[in-house]
Amino acid sequence: MSVRALGVCYYPEHWPEELWAEDARRMAETGISFVRIGEFAWSRLEPKRGATEFDWLARAIDVLHGAGLKVVLGTPTATPPKWLVDEMPDMLPVGQDGRVRGFGSRRHYDFSHEGYRAECARITEALARRFGAHPGVVAWQTDNEYACHLTALSYSEAALSGFRDWLGRKYQSPDALNRAWGTVFWSMEYQSFEEIELPNVALTEPAPAHVLDFRRYSSQAIVTFNRLQADIIRRFSPGRDVIHNFMGRTLSFDHFDVGADLDVSSWDSYPLGFLDQWSPRSPEFKAEFARAGDPDLQALHHDLYRATSNGRWWIMEQQPGPVNWAPHNPAPRDGMVRLWTWEAFAHGAEVVSYFRWRQAPFAQEQMHAGLLRPDSEPAPGLLEAAAVAGEIAGQDLPMPGRADVAIVFDYPSAWAWTAQPQGREFDYFRLVYDLYKALRRLGLSVDFLDAKSADPSPYRLVLVPGLFAWPEALREALGRLDGLALVGPRSGSRTADFAIPAALPPELPAPLDALKVTRVETLPPNLDVPMEGGAGAFQVWREMLETGDASVRLRADDGEPALVGTGPLLYLGGWPDETLAFDLLKGLAEEVGLPVLDLPPGLRLRRAGGLSYVFNYGSRTLRLSEHGLAGNFRLGADELPPSGVAILEGEA
């Protein structure tokens, strides 16, 4: 039977020891089985260099384990203590403005700093030696939320020296680097790697290839930082899962590369904060879903992170009530904590863990809800967690199999288009999200594929939006696809060195090898390019296509080709608005025989493992049978109230 369980984040160091046993008992009574602890506790674990105090943590683990809970132990490296920072102040990260980002909150370290890495290895090893074989410790979390508070990039001396070494290894000679970066432009040529600076010091825009290499270097620094801890944990705590908790909408390092060193990927899901802070939806939409969250944004992350560690994934932190960090922090509508938990299970989460057990009455996050109020009384989230615990008990919820549609995803593309957006609105994540949400409206399920290693061959429909440079294997595989591949806009428009390909983009294989993008333009808001026949428009980005003998499937109303190709390869020469994205993907899904629906904005479906999970994010009761969803109900019924969850037998 597949593992489906609940967890919670707990900070024994925040509470009197007399409370621990009672807390543990109540967690277990709620139906919680995993508890994450320790990830910020360095100053309590080692108040002075070498003076480790692990006994309190041992007692906490014993108490939790004694109550039947499984412990996920965090390494405390996101919060180096003051004495350590004072010992080596050059471990602090430096912002793009050149200013040191100092002590007094968290994440005040530089991924490139060798001295800090050695300290992380030391504390990780000490913890893993002491607790690695404890029967209560079932998993480890490395650090906490890499890149949170914009820490993926640091412009420090340590980063500069690491970057120069990395460039030396990559290019071998300054000449090769000069050619790759195009430094003849503006007399930027280098005679030695020691002359190279970080891209933040340039007077105006640095060479985009310089920026992209710095992004690649910085991402790799996070990968090796994480690997250092993962290797130590595996050595001293064999058989335990190594996990990291990723964040939403964070593209500043390659999560596939970090995920390759994890047993389980996890992410921290705060739907209401995300809607307010990031969702590109209209103010009306945001008002409608202010207490529910964007119905597609969590699902996108569930699917994306599932792909980063071979399918095993968790929610490490689930919003339980109002948070403290968004522009506005409303309370979830009754039932939403339960719905979010179920949506994660529908997408294959093994564990959903709430952040946090009890609201802290002190310090930065005192306004952040927990499952308990600061006075230890239940907060509304606790009752919903208990409800889910009751519902999952004894249920067999098979893991999702292969999804209907694949989207090829690529972190370097996000870096490339940040370095050279060409139009303010061109945002890689948003392009992916726009296509994803059209697929959700159609009721289709999605797998993400890492561009570097993607095998698109099992899928009937594959989308490749905004991929800046082709990995050769992917390019070839698309040409041999049995299904349909929708490529573009902007895909294959650069070489890996950030130059326009000699024969012009998109460099597709046969039968679309004659296709050329001859000109691009970015479109300010209100300068959309309508399609012939009036169904939707291009927005943000538009390309002029020389089509060779490829057939034109759709034209803009000025007569220019918008969608060209004959299966298996199709190329889309612009960023589709909501109507166009929906119509286009509906047509393609039908062409390859996928079952499509047209779900209203608040109603969402995930077919998985022979079940159909249905969610009502909206504020009105819906009848599922009116939306093409009928069958035997395992949970819920045809009438689905606001925040309601239903599970139908079979893939409806």
Say how far apart CA 135 and CA 62 lie, in whole Å: 9
Closer by beta carbon to ligand GAL, 307 or else 323: 323
| Choice from 270, 289, 459, 615 touching ligand GAL (CB under 6 A) | 270
- What minimum distance in Å lies between the beta carbon of 282 and ligand GAL? 25
- What minimum distance in Å lies between the beta carbon of 227 and ligand GAL? 21
Closer by beta carbon to ligand GAL, 124 or else 141: 141
Instruction: Say which of 317, 391, 507, 543 is annotated catalytic.
Output: 317
Closer by beta carbon to ligand GAL, 106 or else 555: 106
Strands (E), 311-429: 313-318, 351-354, 405-409
DSSP state of 172: S
The closest of 147, 347, 348 to 257, measured between CA atoms, is 147
Closer by beta carbon to ligand GAL, 144 or else 279: 144
- What minimum distance in Å lies between the beta carbon of 339 and ligand GAL? 19
- ∠ CA(136), CA(142), CA(147), 5° rounding? 150
Active site residue 560: no
Contact 506, 517 (CB under 8 A): yes
Closer by beta carbon to ligand GAL, 270 or else 342: 270
Active site residue 145: yes
Q: Does 188 bind ligand GAL (CB under 6 A)?
A: no
Q: Which residues, numbered 301-330, are part of the site for ligand GAL (CB under 6 A)?
A: 317, 323, 325
Q: Does 163 bind ligand GAL (CB under 6 A)?
A: no
| Residue whose pair of structure tokens reads 């190594």 in the numeric block | 242
| Choice from 355, 428, 468, 541 touching ligand GAL (CB under 6 A) | 355
| Residue whose pair of structure tokens reads 């004659």 in the numeric block | 514
Q: Does 354 bind ligand GAL (CB under 6 A)?
A: no
- ∠ CA(621), CA(627), CA(633), 5° rounding? 75
Q: Can you say how many angstroms the Cα of residue 192 is from the centroid of all Cα atoms in its chain?
A: 37
- What minimum distance in Å lies between the beta carbon of 318 and ligand GAL? 10
Tokens of 501: 């390909």
The helix-helix angle for 208-236 and 411-419 (nearest 10°) equals 150
DSSP state of 378: B
Q: Which residues, numbered 120-149, are part of the site for ligand GAL (CB under 6 A)?
A: 144-145, 148
DSSP state of 389: H
Burial of 509 (0-12, 13-18, 19+ CB in 10 A): middle
Count the site residues for ligand GAL by CB under 6 A. Answer: 11
| Choice from 119, 261, 268, 447 touching ligand GAL (CB under 6 A) | 268
Closer by beta carbon to ligand GAL, 186 or else 325: 325
- What minimum distance in Å lies between the beta carbon of 247 and ligand GAL? 6
Instruction: Say which of 39, 145, 384, 560 is annotated catalytic.
Output: 145
Provide CB contacts within 8 A for 261, sequence distance 6+. 223, 226, 227, 230, 242
Query: In 3-state terms, what secondary structure has residue 299?
Result: helix
Identify the bridge partners of residue 576 per DSSP, sorted by sequence position.
538
Q: Does 252 bind ligand GAL (CB under 6 A)?
A: no
- What minimum distance in Å lies between the beta carbon of 142 and ligand GAL? 13
Say how far apart CA 528 and CA 547 lie, in whole Å: 22
Closer by beta carbon to ligand GAL, 320 or else 561: 320
Q: Does 289 bind ligand GAL (CB under 6 A)?
A: no
Q: Does 368 bind ligand GAL (CB under 6 A)?
A: yes
| HEC readout, 430-467 | HHHHHHHHHHHHCCCCEEEEECCCCCCCCCCEEEECCC
Catalytic residue numbers, as ranges: 145, 317
* Residues at the contact surface with ligand GAL, assessed by CB under 6 A: 144-145, 148, 268, 270, 317, 323, 325, 355, 365, 368
